[in-house]
Structure 1
């Protein structure tokens, strides 16, 4: 069957443009095999990264039909099955472009310096405890090693980083790849400063609270590392050790649980004052609420009373049960 590959081409600092190449292919051909044929048989100037061809090295990350993926893992049949019904089935197209959130060097090759610099910020290596064993290995139990398996599967392909909405709008955010590695360091029995790591990852802009929870990192990860799940676990550990006064994000989550526990749902009269105003302690925070508060009052949307929801005792019981399990 004939398939047209529409590839976004670009040289550094020049306007990008699409160039189309039509190949006779088999549905089992991987996207990387098709790119190799285009380069070898049609246009030797086409530029992309590759190495292992077996979903191990992560080099061939790119966007395929708008989704960050590995070209060596995705095949023609899979991509054609995702094509919109409006597309001409007799002349199917597969659109390929470079990863997002990284500047393009040439064609499908991006500059990953920012990606690596963000990884370095979380110090992705075990600390001194593991380095001070003079005559033998630092042994781990099977249970301790098992905690590292999921995050240890990360091949740093950049797919999650490319899809990250938080990174797109906040350059200080370290990215899902780094924070997934961060959780591995917290759970590593050989590391001797998990408390200091949690303090570092508690940063509002660069740490876990910068995540928008869009779930795209989990969706595109080719190795099922589930970066969002790891970020959520770090948040849980931070919430367990930090008080309400430590930061606005921590207070936001603790107040939310407290209000739902008390009334079955959120009492909107109290929520912003308790979170942003830190229980009336933060004058600047309270003043920042004034413009919005006045608009809500003028629109007649401010609730002057609060009525607990039905089944509040059941809600409270569920929250208490969950909290008792997580605190064991």
Structure 2
């Protein structure tokens, strides 16, 4: 069958343009195989990264039909089934573009310096003191090693970083790839800097609280690392040792859980007062809520009463069960 590949092409700091290539393909052909054919048979100037062709190196990350993925993993059949677009002549189309959140060098090649720099910020290595063990190596049980497997599967392809909405609006955020690696260090029993690490990750913009929980990193990760889940686990470790009054981001999480436990869902009247107003202790925070409160009152959108949901006790039991076993 014929497929038209619409490739977004550009040079650094230039306006991108779409160039179309028509290929005769089979459903099992990977996108990378097709890009190779375009480069070898039609246009030798097309630039993209590649290496292993086996979903190991992570080099061929790019946006395929609007979603960051590995070109060596996605095949024609899957893409046409997931995203069906055709020309006026009925020929299916597949769009290919460079990854996001990183500047383009040429065509599908992006500058990944920010990706590597943010990874370095979380110190993704076992602490030095933990490596200074005399006479014998540091042994781990199979169970201790197994805890690290999911994060260890990360091949640093950049797909999660490319789709991260938090990074898009907040350049201080280190990104899901870095925090997934950070969680690996937090739970590694060989590391001796867990407390220091958790304090470093407990920041409103750069650390775990900068995550907007959009789920995009989990959705595009080709290795099922589930970066957002790992970020959530770091948050839980931080919450264990911090009081709600210490920061707004910690208070937001604790108040949300406490209110749901009390009423089955969130009492919106209390949520802002407790989180922004710090349980009525932050006068400046309380005053900042006044304009919003007045607008809500005038538009009839301020809840004057609160009715607990049905099954509140069951909701409370579920939350407490998770907290006790987590």
- Decide whether aligned partners of structure 1 residues 107 and 263 sit closer, same or farther in structure 2, where only a CA change above 3 A counts: same
**Is the counterpart of residue 164 in structure 1 residue 161 in structure 2?**
no
Deviations 1:112-169 (A, max 9, x none): 0000011011010010233211332211111110011000000000001111111111
- Decide whether aligned partners of structure 1 residues 276 and 106 sit closer, same or farther in structure 2, where only a CA change above 3 A counts: same
| 2:290 counterpart SS class | helix
**Alignment: residue pair count:** 326
Shift of 1:2: 1.5
Stretch of structure 1 that moved more, 125-134 or 12-21: 125-134
Shift of 1:276: 0.6
- Give the corresponding residue for 2:106: 106
- Decide whether aligned partners of structure 1 residues 71 and 315 sit closer, same or farther in structure 2, where only a CA change above 3 A counts: closer
TM-score, normalised with respect to structure 1 = 0.95
- Give the corresponding residue for 2:94: 94
Shift of 1:79: 1.3
- Give the corresponding residue for 1:29: 29
**Is the counterpart of residue 305 in structure 1 residue 308 in structure 2?**
no
Q: Distance in 2 between matches of 1:89 and 1:255?
A: 57
Contact 2:55 2:72 in 1 (8 A): yes
Contact 1:8 1:98 in 2 (8 A): yes
Contact 2:176 2:227 in 1 (8 A): yes
- Give the corresponding residue for 1:294: 294
After TM superposition, the structure 1 = structure 2 runs for residues 105-144 of structure 1, keeping only pairs within 5 Å, are 105-144=105-144
**Is the counterpart of residue 322 in structure 1 residue 322 in structure 2?**
yes
Q: Distance in 2 between matches of 1:184 and 1:261?
A: 30
Q: Distance in 2 between matches of 1:4 and 1:271?
A: 52
Q: Distance in 1 between matches of 2:10 and 2:119?
A: 27
Unaligned runs of 5+ in 1: none
Shift of 1:85: 6.4
Give structure 1 regions of 4+ aligned residues with deviation exceeding 4 angstroms.
85-89
The Cα RMSD (Å) is: 1.6
Contact 1:129 1:190 in 2 (8 A): no
Contact 1:159 1:221 in 2 (8 A): yes
Q: Distance in 2 between matches of 1:220 and 1:166?
A: 15
Contact 1:62 1:71 in 2 (8 A): yes
- Decide whether aligned partners of structure 1 residues 88 and 226 sit closer, same or farther in structure 2, where only a CA change above 3 A counts: farther
Q: Distance in 2 between matches of 1:111 and 1:15?
A: 17
- Give the corresponding residue for 1:14: 14
**Is the counterpart of residue 204 in structure 1 residue 204 in structure 2?**
yes
Unaligned runs of 5+ in 2: none
Stretch of structure 1 that moved more, 282-291 or 173-182: 282-291
Deviations 1:181-221 (A, max 9, x none): 01000011111011111111111101111111111111111
Q: Distance in 2 between matches of 1:279 and 1:217?
A: 34
- Give the corresponding residue for 1:81: 81
Q: Distance in 2 between matches of 1:323 and 1:176?
A: 24
Q: Distance in 2 between matches of 1:318 and 1:150?
A: 26
Q: Distance in 1 between matches of 2:288 and 2:128?
A: 44
**Is the counterpart of residue 275 in structure 1 residue 275 in structure 2?**
yes
Contact 2:85 2:92 in 1 (8 A): no
Shift of 1:295: 1.1
Q: Distance in 2 between matches of 1:157 and 1:4?
A: 26
